[in-house]
Every structure is written in structure tokens, then in C-alpha cells.
Amino acid sequence: MNVQQEVLGLLDEVLSLNGRTSTFGRNTHLLGAIPELDSMAVVSLITGLEERFNMAIDDDDIDGSTFATVGSLVDFISGKITA
């Protein structure tokens, strides 16, 4: 499973980015850089990640740095699914 591709697909879907994530790389900034990624979208994204990767994300597990870049989000998910 390509975690980055899955995360990008979910970002595109949840945020209705209409394929814009095809240009995103690990260093692409998310929180604060993408207007669609507001607090409600973060909640929807977390729910989507839990469903897509069949895992639970505790509130204590995440903070703003988790959603700083595509890479930080991918690394967080990769760490959760291998733990």
C-alpha cells in the first residue's frame, strides 16, 4: 500500500480539491496553506483516515504539526499502521 497516494487521494476527496493533490509532494504545506483545510475539514479528514487505514486516532496523538505538510501526515499515518 502506498500510504502517500492513499493520503493524497483522501485529501483530494475530503477537501474537494478536484485533482489538485496530483501536484502535491512530501513538502507541500497543508494546514494554513490550503484554505479548504479548516477545523471542520480536519475532523472529516481524521475520520476518513481512520476508516481508510482501519485504525483509531486518539485526540492526544495529533496536533498542528501532524497536518503541517503532506510528509508529516504520511509519516504519522505510517507510524500508526506499523505500530
Q: What is the pLDDT of residues 18-66, one digit of tens each?
A: 999 999 999 999 999 999 999 999 999 999 999 999 999 998 999 989 9
Backbone angles phi, psi at 69, to 5 degrees: -140, 170
Distance from first CA to last CA of the chain, Å, rounded? 16
CATH number for region 3-82: 1.10.1200.10
Closest CA to 29 of 61, 78, 73, 62: 73
82: pLDDT strictly greater than 90: no
Per-domain residue ranges of the chain:
3-82
Model pTM above 0.75: yes
